[in-house]
Structure 1
Amino acid sequence: MEVASMPRIPVRTACLAATLLLTALAGTPVPAVARDLPDRYVVSREAGVLPEGITVTPDGTMYVSSDGLGTLYRSRIGAADLEPFPARGLEERTSTLGVHTDRRGRVLSVGGAILTVHDRHGRLLARRTAKEGPLGAPHLNDLVVTEDAVYVTDWANPVIHRAEIRGSTVGPLEPWLDIRAAFPQFPARYWLLNGIVADETGSTLLVASNGTEAVWRIGVADREVSRLDLGEQSFGADGMVLRGRTLYAVLNYGAPHGVYIARLDGELRAGTVTHRLTDEPFDLPTTLAKHGCRLYVVNSQLDEPPGRPPYTVRAIPDPTCDDSP
């Protein structure tokens, strides 16, 4: 910094400005910190909701989906109770799983064979139906939104679906990759594709597979498929979050239930599990979201449907965050 080139401010003016700034700040509400936020959120007290998916926007708005009813719920992270999100056009979709938002604030969610796009007021902007897969009707599970596309996993088929994004338009939902065809070593059955995440450039996807108890890496440009090498602690996650080279994953199958965190290499081909958070009071966790230094984990109760109200989301500190309490 070239200090000499900066304009000189009279001392009395600088002091007055500082005093006015401090006075203004004293009367301004301070943003909520982790210790001021709820540790538990009630999605609903209505019977049969069975929450499944979750996302938290940069401004702290939380959306949670219902596997049992197909409803979407919304709240700010400062409020402990969510309310139904008035999303129009969900009458034919009795189950909603993955839910995410894009940079425009649109709410994208999937369930059954249907992808929907809503604005933040609940107005239906787009509805896309996936085509039948090699093994029958699609069962869309989760999605990730990149700069130019939406990628969706299919729990019933070894297929990744894709809808192109051009400006404000979301194109048709088309089969994009049959993993079994692209990677002959992929098991012949029981894939159970779950969570999906993308790196910051949208050039690499990571796809979780309960059935293979692994996470699979897919290069978008060449559609190359390889298994993410996590060593002896390899896992088949349900929901996932990727921040830089840190992968957050929820496990509810084949291992102690909870949140697992792995540090990956620069190409997202291999990594090491650094944390296993399995002692928290989770109730069949399905996925998670990250906001600030907290992780928001869905308690689905899907192992004993219709479960028992209230249905909740649990918030825990992110142990990789320096600002965690």
Structure 2
Amino acid sequence: MRRIPAPRTRRRTARPLVRLTAATALLTAFAAVPGPAATARDLPGSYVVSRAPGVLPEGIAITPDGTMYVSSDGTGALYRGRVGTPDMKPFPARGLENRPSALGVHTDRRGRILSVGGATLTVHDRHGRLLATRTAPGGPLGAPDLNDLAVTNDAVYVTDWANPVVLRAEIRGGVLGPLEPWLDIRSAFPQFPARYWLLNGIVANESGTALLVASNGTEAVWRIGTAGRDVSRLDLGEESFGPDGMVLRGRTLYAVLNYGAPHGVYIARLDEELRSGTVTHRLTDGPFDLPTTLARHGCRLYVVNSQLDDPPGLPPYTVSAIADPTCGPV
């Protein structure tokens, strides 16, 4: 998600591959037992991530049972809550002491919480136990600044804000492999600019055959085929934009814009191959405060209010919930 990277003074060294044990796998059934079903009108319209100064929330993930995770760009911490409760609490994620910032956060089908910040990708179970840490090597232009991630059945793909590179860590038998450079977009697409690409959000289709990568620097979304690593620009006609965070649900792309065009959520309907589409909704009159990304749960969109345009911002730091207009009346 969009941010101005802080200068890096050192690089972390790579760690050996860590196996996710069978005992851990038993814990990843993910699930707190869902509570009673609630309609949208019963749910809060706003969630307090933290009232502590300097948190600056950035990324968000929501599990199928309504558990919400939010990352902190300001401190590197993770927060957890429920869609039915307006206040979140610090998530006891171990092993983040040396990571001053946390940006993208997602969950996988096993219930693990994956997050990125600085040069590291971390994996935690729902109790906060650290299962794996992967460190990205330096990129063609220097130290990495990992921004967001997408999880498929066989890999985790990560964007680097400081380099025009998508990284990949293979998943095989529940084991997360090393985080390695997978694609330098400049080499695959010669028209890609030499500098100022600023890679942000990344999403994958359900089959894992295509990725969509947001680039603030080019003000565009780029499609990457995972089999041939072919790169093309997503054609949204005159509505082309370079968003921050994104969500892909089938052929519907939800994207957060926080510069240039009015801030808010833009929704596009894409073709089957995710090569072109049409913007169908522009939700720019919501209660947003420099939104960075969003999550979708039920028929609602949960938008992070980062306040990154005026750090350290003003507590409380919040997530706003708005209706998803593609669902119809809620």
- Structure 2 length as normaliser, TM-score? 0.89
Question: 5 Å matches for 1:12-31?
Answer: 30-31=36-37
Question: 5 Å matches for 1:6-17?
Answer: none
Which of the numbers 267, 276, 279 marks the counterpart of 1:261?
267
CA positional deviation for 1:218: 0.1
CA positional deviation for 1:82: 0.3
Partner of 2:302: 296
CA positional deviation for 1:206: 0.2
Partner of 1:208: 214
Question: 5 Å matches for 1:44-83?
Answer: 44-83=50-89
Equivalents in 2 of 1:206, 1:301: separation in Å?
26
CA positional deviation for 1:203: 0.4
Query: Larger C-alpha radius of gyration, 1 or 2?
Result: 1
> Is the aligned partner of 1:251 residue 2:257?
yes
Question: 5 Å matches for 1:134-283?
Answer: 134-283=140-289
> Is the aligned partner of 1:125 residue 2:131?
yes
Partner of 2:97: 91
> Is the aligned partner of 1:287 residue 2:301?
no
Instruction: Tell me the amino acid that sits aligned with residue 165 of structure 2.
Output: V
Query: Percent same amino acid at aligned positions?
Result: 81
Q: After superposition, give the CA deviation of every residue in 1:200-254 in whole Å (9 maximum; x if it has no partner).
A: 1000000000110000000000000000000000000000000000000000022
Q: After superposition, give the CA deviation of every residue in 1:234-281 in whole Å (9 maximum; x if it has no partner).
A: 000000000000000000022110000000001100000000000011
Instruction: Tell me the amino acid that sits aligned with residue 116 of structure 1.
Output: T
Q: Report SS of the residue matched to 2:327.
A: coil
Instruction: Tell me the amino acid that sits aligned with residue 281 of structure 2.
Output: H
Equivalents in 1 of 2:150, 2:126: separation in Å?
18
Query: 5+ residue gaps in structure 2?
Result: 1-34
> Is the aligned partner of 1:319 residue 2:325?
yes
Instruction: Tell me the amino acid that sits aligned with residue 54 of structure 1.
Output: I
Equivalents in 1 of 2:54, 2:221: separation in Å?
30
- Structure 1 length as normaliser, TM-score? 0.90
| Preserved CA contact (<8 Å) 1:236 1:253 | no
Query: 5+ residue gaps in structure 1?
Result: 1-28
CA positional deviation for 1:71: 0.3
Equivalents in 1 of 2:267, 2:190: separation in Å?
29
Equivalents in 1 of 2:151, 2:303: separation in Å?
20
Q: Report SS of the residue matched to 1:147.
A: coil
Partner of 1:16: none
Q: Report SS of the residue matched to 2:157.
A: strand
CA positional deviation for 1:30: 4.5
Q: Larger relative CO (CA 8 A, sep 6+): 1 or 2? A: 2
RMSD: 0.7
